[in-house]
């Protein structure tokens, strides 16, 4: 998803964030990360069904904005360990749901040249994601903190939601 709230950002940085910034031991970090990944299995099933009823764009926007809120919560959570698991679980539910929802929305609205639309979408997503992970790594190295990349990712989720709103449900 635009804004760096996608899988790459989360998979690459959450484990390091848990151990390096929040100071969790490896077992606790593994447990929390695994809970997020399990939520990432449940989320697309849950939100996919919800999008059939509420609409693809509406559900995608919801997931993008909740993902942004959860990244902001993580960036500002400090060492409040009690809240980390629920925040990361909700992050897993929504962040891993945005890609399948967006792909389904594109399939719904791209009646012609569907292959070209998907080609452009996946190419730009992989390029942007790679560049953002690289830039976020530089920011972490420069600041010694994951806060700024998480905040920038959260802020980037807002224009992504606006773009999805413009696409709308045109199925």
**Percent of the chain whose pLDDT exceeds 70:** 93
Residues recorded for the chain: 171
63-107 pLDDT per residue, tens? 999 999 999 999 888 766 778 999 999 999 999 999 899 888 888
pLDDT tier, 4 (very low <50, low <70, confident <90, very high otherwise): low
Which pair of tokens denotes residue 116?
A: 């070209």
pTM for the full predicted model: 0.89
Structure tokens at 91: 């992050």
Provide the residue range defining the domain that includes 42.
7-167
Q: What is the mean pLDDT of residues 48-56?
A: 93
Q: Is residue 154 part of a domain?
A: yes
Q: How confident is the model at residue 160 (pLDDT cuts 50, 70, 90)?
A: confident
Q: Which of 31-35, 49-53, 166-170 has the lowest mean pLDDT?
A: 166-170
DSSP 8-state code for residue 171:
-
The total domain count for the chain is 1
C-alpha closest to that of 51 among 42, 37, 61: 61
The answer to whether position 71 is within a domain reads yes
1 within domain boundaries: no
**Residue at token pair 């069904």:** 49
Per residue in 9-37, pLDDT tens? 889 899 999 999 999 999 999 999 999 99
Establish if 93 belongs to a structural domain.
yes
Residues 6+ away with beta carbon under 8 Å from 156:
2, 3, 4, 5, 68
CATH code: domain of residue 84: 1.20.1250.20
Which pLDDT belongs to residue 17?
93
Q: What integer pLDDT is reported at residue 2 of this predicted model? A: 47
Contact 169, 57 (CB under 8 A): yes
Structure tokens at 127: 């390029």
| 45 has pLDDT over 60 | yes
Q: Would you say residue 19 lies in a domain? A: yes
Asked, for residue 142, whether it belongs to a domain, the answer is yes
Token pair recorded at residue 19 = 């151990």
What are the pLDDT digits (tens) for 114-154?
889 889 988 988 898 889 999 999 999 999 999 999 999 99
Q: Specify if 2 maps to a domain.
A: no
Please name the residue ranges forming H helices in the chain. 7-16, 26-54, 56-76, 81-109, 114-143, 147-167
Nearest Cα residue to 53 out of 165, 158, 169: 169
């Amino acid at each position: 998803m635009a804004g760096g709230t996608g899988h790459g950002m989360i998979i690459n940085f959450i484990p390091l964030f848990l151990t390096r910034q929040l100071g969790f031991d490896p077992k606790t970090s593994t447990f929390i990360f695994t809970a997020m990944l399990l939520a990432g299995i449940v989320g697309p099933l849950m939100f996919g069904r919800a999008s059939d009823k509420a609409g693809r764009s509406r559900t995608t926007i919801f997931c993008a904005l909740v993902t942004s809120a959860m990244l902001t919560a993580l960036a500002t959570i400090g060492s409040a360990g009690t809240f980390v698991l629920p925040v990361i679980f909700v992050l897993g539910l929504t962040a891993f749901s945005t890609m399948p929802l967006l792909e389904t929305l594109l399939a719904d609205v791209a009646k012609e040249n569907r292959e070209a639309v998907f080609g452009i979408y996946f190419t730009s997503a992989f390029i942007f994601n790679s560049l953002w992970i690289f830039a976020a790594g530089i920011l972490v190295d420069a600041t010694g903190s994951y806060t700024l990349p998480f905040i920038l990712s959260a802020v980037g989720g807002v224009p992504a939601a606006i773009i999805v709103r413009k696409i709308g449900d045109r199925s």
